[in-house]
Amino acid sequence: MSHNNQRYFDEWEIMREELLQLIRNKDPKKSELMRKGIHQLMYILDETEEATPLNYMERTTFIKSNIDKHVAFVQLDELFKETKKKLARIRAQCKSE
């Protein structure tokens, strides 16, 4: 995982905590932050396409169409977790070759 990718994951962790607060408070600002999170994930996957999670397109479409619902946040968080795991696996495979 490049340091650049790690920066996006670190930024997601900060956004994630803020989103949890916004969701609890039913704050409409959460939609804009969710969009920013989607873009963060897209930046990561643009750099490393082989880390793309299963059903990525369908899942991001679902997130975008339900952007202000908690289920969309859960799904986006899962995509970040899966991407991070795949990147770690790719990095490990590259080191062992």
Q: Report the alpha-carbon distance of residue 93 to residue 97 in Å, rounded.
A: 6
Q: Which two tokens stand for residue 69?
A: 């619902």
Per-residue pLDDT tens listing for the chain (97 residues): 455 688 999 999 999 999 999 999 999 999 999 999 999 999 999 988 899 999 999 999 999 999 999 999 999 999 999 999 999 999 888 887 7
Q: Is the pTM above the cut of 0.95?
A: no
31: exposed, middle or buried (Cβ count in 10 Å: 0-12, 13-18, 19+)? middle
Say how far residue 31 (Cα) sits from the centre of its chain.
Answer: 14
Question: Residue 97 gets which letter from DSSP?
Answer: -
Question: Which structure tokens are listed for 46?
Answer: 């643009």
